[in-house]
Amino acid sequence: MKSETLIIDDDKIICILHEKLCNIYQLPSPRSFTRAAEALAYIQARNNPGQSFTILLDINMPEMNGWQFLDVLSNEELRASIYLVLLSSSVDKSDREQAKSCPLVDAFISKPLDTSKINGLMADEKLLERIDTLR
């Protein structure tokens, strides 16, 4: 199975920080996108049963925000396996509630990602199963 970690955030510095953390924690093949539409096209082009994605998605972005990205993604016929983490600086309680009700969202974490937050993610069995299959 081919697995990749996609970081989708309009802040280039956050992308660099998150890529470094993904490399430290050996999340597979981190790749950053500053535009959600580009990441969506990337996923659509690689959407097949042998592909999996761990997606770190920001909510507040120009052009296409995280919720719009999720709307389009939820309408796709997904053959790839997806583990999706919303990463946001939003303190809006409705964002957390909306994340809980979205079947594509596996976790909601406040930015920036740091070692304690990534350790929490690494304890998630669904994510661990994906990483272990690649080793």
Q: What is the pLDDT of residues 54-107, one digit of tens each?
A: 999 999 999 999 999 999 998 888 777 888 999 888 778 888 888 888 889 988
The pLDDT, as a whole number, for residue 135 is: 42
CB 20 within 8 A of CB 12: no
The pLDDT, as a whole number, for residue 49 is: 87
Tell me the average pLDDT of the chain. Answer: 86
For the full predicted model, state whether its pTM sits above 0.85: yes
- Mean pLDDT computed over 32-46: 95
Rounded distance between C-alpha atoms, residue 104 and residue 119, angstroms: 21
Q: What residues does each domain of the chain span?
A: 2-129
The pLDDT, as a whole number, for residue 130 is: 56
- Mean pLDDT computed over 2-30: 91
Paired residues of 52 in beta bridges: 3, 81
Measured in whole angstroms, the distance separating CA 8 from the mean position of its chain's CA atoms is 7
The pLDDT, as a whole number, for residue 99 is: 87
2-129 folds as Rossmann fold (3.40.50)
Tokens of 79: 């053959």
The pLDDT, as a whole number, for residue 128 is: 60
The pLDDT, as a whole number, for residue 43 is: 94
Residues 6+ apart with CB under 8 A from 4: 28, 29, 30, 31, 46, 51, 52, 53, 54
What pairing do the DSSP bridges indicate for beta strands 30-33 and 81-88?
A: unpaired
